Amino acid sequence: MLEAGIPKLCPKWTKTLKQAASGKYERWYGDGECEVRAEPDPDESDDAEFIQPGTYRTRGQLDNCYWERATKAGEIIDNNFANAAREITVTIRPSDGLFKSEGCGIWKPVK
């Protein structure tokens, strides 16, 4: 229904609809804890809490931003607390198990 109606009713959203339906779209991440995985797990119904390895950046007035890369067991690999920053970039490696952040805004992939 959406695939038929959107192009006719809201043509400017056609590209977004096609990306969403294909699963090929840029994911952004907010506060919380994400498991590091290269691909979604087909056996899990909710893949909202995973992040792919790569470099991510957050921008804005970043007061009291904490981020952490950790092993699957929760041992900290790298972390930082920024109490006044405008931009933070973090590279999440395929060998990482978890990525956590609090008060950092939205993490977007760096292209």
The values of phi and psi at residue 16, to 5°, are -65, -40
pLDDT at res. 12: 73
Residues paired with residue 99 on neighbouring β-strands, in sequence order = 34, 69
What single-letter amino acid sits at 33? Answer: E
- Contact between residue 111 and residue 57 where contact means Cβ atoms under 8 Å apart: no
pLDDT at res. 10: 72
Q: What is the mean pLDDT of each run of 10 residues along the chain (111 residues)?
A: 65 67 71 88 64 95 95 96 94 97 95 82
For 8, half-sphere exposure in the C-beta direction (CA atoms, 13 angstrom radius) is 5
pLDDT at res. 48: 56
